[in-house]
A and B are shown apart, each in its own frame.
Chain A
Amino acid sequence: MPQLGESIAEAAIINFLAPPGTVVKADQDLIEVETNKATMTVTAPCAGRVGAYTVELNESYAVGAVLGQIEATVEEIERSGLILQVTGESVEADVEARPEAPAGAYRVQPTVRGLPVPANAAGASYLSPRLKARMSELGLHAADLAGIAGSGAAGRVTIEDFEKFIASLEKQKMSKASTMRVAVADAMRRSWTRPIATVGLPVQLDPLLAHRKASSPKPGPALYALRALAIALSENSAPAGRLVGKKVIHPSSIDVGFAVEAEDGVLVPVIRHADQKPLKELVSRYNELVELARERKLPADATGGSIATVTNYGTFGLIWATPIPLPEQTMVLGMGAGRRMPFWDETKNQFVPVLEAYLTLSFDHRVLDGGGAGRLLARIADLMRHPELL
């Protein structure tokens, strides 16, 4: 029963105009009906053969009621936009089409502008408000999500991915990370937001070892490197500048730190004005700071505020590494383990054994280019080959 007028709820059947079996055209009158207001006709929604009427004369039927069937071809049904009802082998369309449009007949955009979601609110780097809220609740950083393969658009980590990840962790043994570990993790994470590069250079240590043997008290190998770095930076401190926005912040004094391994972490005591005191005057202060660091009793004036750090990873037998500078520093100078290496001696015209170690310089590539880093490292190596200058 079609909608016959604005306020027509139902209509009574008063006459069948096309008996079952009649071949009818679309819009041909089929049934005469009577409403409160007038007598009207129900017309064929499509061309076809009248099958059967399923209503009775002089009875009232509500709008939307099925009145009967018309047998029509699939093409005709599709043409008229009606719903297919497959019954046995014949395909029939109800005389009264359902008020909803048929599936597939139209496609609407979900919003007025047709943009269902903001285009930037997707992708692996998108953290939803809910994800951020949960991470904050659990004290997690974006780096902690690295192990989750996101199932969202373009690899986005959805809240479901996150909760599954958290649930999976609970099945494993967990221990509380030390305050030191958390602090180191935080520093490394912040530092890693920059593009960090590393350059390396071998340096012969024989003159340095000879100098050390003759000295009293004996400076540690890292102190030679520290002093060489301080002198090199005093000649040109720009490479140790920090880039903040469009400005380079130059160091105000050559304060250099050095890495000391402590339980479950690393401490970085600082030697102030390392460019202004000769090596031999730094030895006792250096040794004192190493001890204080191991006891974790560094005074406030011996930590923080340094412009670069020296790390002697050679003490672990490592010959090469790419240390990460502290987040507030632009560079870290690394020193590998010394090894006996064959060296071609031009004067003797033969190989001679030398003690050689790699120096590495890891730096913020935004501030420093490979050439600048290479020149700085070459100057440091040069100074270390001439320890009497330190």
Chain B
Amino acid sequence: MSITYLEAIREAQAVALRDDPRVFIYGQDVGAFGGAFKATKNLAREFPGRVFDAPISEDAMVGMAVGAAVEGLRPIVEMQFADFSTAGFNQIVNQAATLFWRTQVPCSMTVRLPFGGTSGSGPFHSQSLEAIYAHYPGLIVLTPATVEDAYSMLLEAVAIDDPVIFCEHKFLYYHLKAEKLPSEALPVGKARIAREGRDLTIVAYSAMVHEALAAAAELVPEGWEIEVVDLRSVKPLDTDTIMASVARTGRLLCVGEAWPWGGVTAEVIARVATEGFGLLDVPPQRLNAKDTPVPYHPNLWAAHRPAARAITDAARKMLRL
């Protein structure tokens, strides 16, 4: 048996619906159609009355989910694309994120954001928005990089009492496969050492973990051992694991598919520079998408995102400094 990242997300939702009667799914075409990416395929049939089609209004979708959460339910809201979630931004950051702090009533909801670039998807279907949600207190932002994490972290997201922004990468939907689903997992907020190394730490998350691992493999024949840290969740951010890794290697390269300005990579570097300046043997670097809208053309898109080749180039410069 082999299961994809997308199927793992569907399975996690099926398990959540089965195990907790408070859970329901709300989103555009999530019902009979099974969702834009088929992440809710057959769930409406398996769980009648628990998977609802929403009007084309992200604002209304999130607002309704906040109300349901106030009443004790645990909604999973599917955005067709992360890019569209900005139409529901007010409800997420002003209502959901602040609810508990204003009223002591928890807002237990999960907003699924299919995010990140795929070839030819262009500026409205490729964005990575984890940084803007991580900016707001009250939200948890998860960015699973593996099939196992997609499954276990989505289950945990539903179980958490806080609103969770679940960033699932569209590029990984079909490309990433696992033999089976996990029975246990690291807790949310704990980063994972995806590859052990000695010479340089690459901190990445979501699809960039795989680019970082490919870059690490490419550098092996040159004698370099690269450590890759998979953040798993960008908020909370596991500073301890990052710091311990930089203590081992002395070099830090952060890779993110989002834009550079004020992003997760900037936050990681700021923390290491603040708390671990004396661990750094070379200036820390970050590698992000270009600071432009995501281009349509496949060749431009490939040059826009930080892929393995750009990572190895940046790593070599740091290793030779």
Chain A residues with CB under 8 Å of chain B are 2-3, 6-7, 9-10, 36, 62-65, 81, 97, 99-101, 103, 105-108, 110-112, 116-118, 121-122, 128-134, 152-153, 156, 158-160
Q: A121-B321, A122-B321 are in contact. Are A108 and B282 (CB under 8 A)?
A: no
A6 touching B313 by the CB < 8 A rule? no
Q: A9-B37, A99-B118 are in contact. Are A105 and B299 (CB under 8 A)?
A: yes
Contact among B171, B280, B313 with A130 in the assembled complex (CB-CB below 8 Å): B280
Contacts of A100 in B (CB 8 A): 302, 307-308
Supply 5 further A-B pairs (C-beta < 8 A) apart from A3-B118, A111-B286, A118-B283: A6-B81, A64-B174, A105-B299, A112-B291, A131-B281
Contact among B278, B279, B290 with A112 in the assembled complex (CB-CB below 8 Å): B290
B306 touching A7 by the CB < 8 A rule? no
Q: A62-B174, A128-B281, A131-B281 are in contact. Are A108 and B303 (CB under 8 A)?
A: yes
A111 touching B285 by the CB < 8 A rule? yes
Indicate if B298 sits at the interface (CB-CB under 8 A). Answer: yes
Cα–Cα distance between A101 and B306 once the two chains are bound (Å): 11
A130 touching B278 by the CB < 8 A rule? yes
Q: How far is the CB of A126 from chain B (nearest CB, A)?
A: 9
Q: How far is the CB of B177 from chain A (nearest CB, A)?
A: 11
Cα–Cα distance between A2 and B298 once the two chains are bound (Å): 11
Cα–Cα distance between A101 and B308 once the two chains are bound (Å): 10
Q: Nearest chain-A residue to B309 (Cβ)? A: A103
Cα–Cα distance between A128 and B318 once the two chains are bound (Å): 13
Interface of A is mostly: loop
B283 touching A117 by the CB < 8 A rule? yes
Chain B residues with CB under 8 Å of chain A are 4, 6, 33, 36-38, 80-81, 118-121, 125, 171, 173-175, 250, 260, 277-283, 285-287, 290-291, 298-299, 302-303, 306-310, 313-314, 317-318, 320-321
Contacts of B287 in A (CB 8 A): 110-111
Can you list the 6 inter-chain pairs with the closest CB atoms, starting with the nearest? A101-B302, A133-B278, A7-B36, A110-B314, A159-B281, A99-B119
Q: How far is the CB of A1 from chain B (nearest CB, A)?
A: 9
24 contacts between A and B (CB under 8 A): A6-B121, A6-B125, A7-B36, A7-B81, A9-B36, A10-B38, A36-B33, A97-B298, A100-B302, A101-B303, A103-B309, A108-B307, A108-B309, A108-B310, A112-B260, A121-B283, A128-B282, A129-B278, A130-B250, A152-B320, A153-B320, A156-B321, A158-B321, A160-B250
Cα–Cα distance between A7 and B27 once the two chains are bound (Å): 14
Q: Nearest chain-A residue to B303 (Cβ)? A: A106
Contacts of B6 in A (CB 8 A): 9
Contacts of A116 in B (CB 8 A): 285, 314, 317-318
Q: A117-B321, A153-B321 are in contact. Are A110 and B313 (CB under 8 A)?
A: yes
Contacts of B250 in A (CB 8 A): 128, 130, 158-160
Q: A62-B174, A101-B299 are in contact. Are A121 and B286 (CB under 8 A)?
A: no
Cα–Cα distance between A64 and B6 once the two chains are bound (Å): 14
Contacts of A152 in B (CB 8 A): 320-321
Q: Nearest chain-A residue to B175 (Cβ)? A: A64
Contacts of A131 in B (CB 8 A): 281
Cα–Cα distance between A153 and B319 once the two chains are bound (Å): 9
Contact among A10, A106, A133, A134 with B299 in the assembled complex (CB-CB below 8 Å): A106
Q: How far is the CB of B64 from chain A (nearest CB, A)?
A: 22
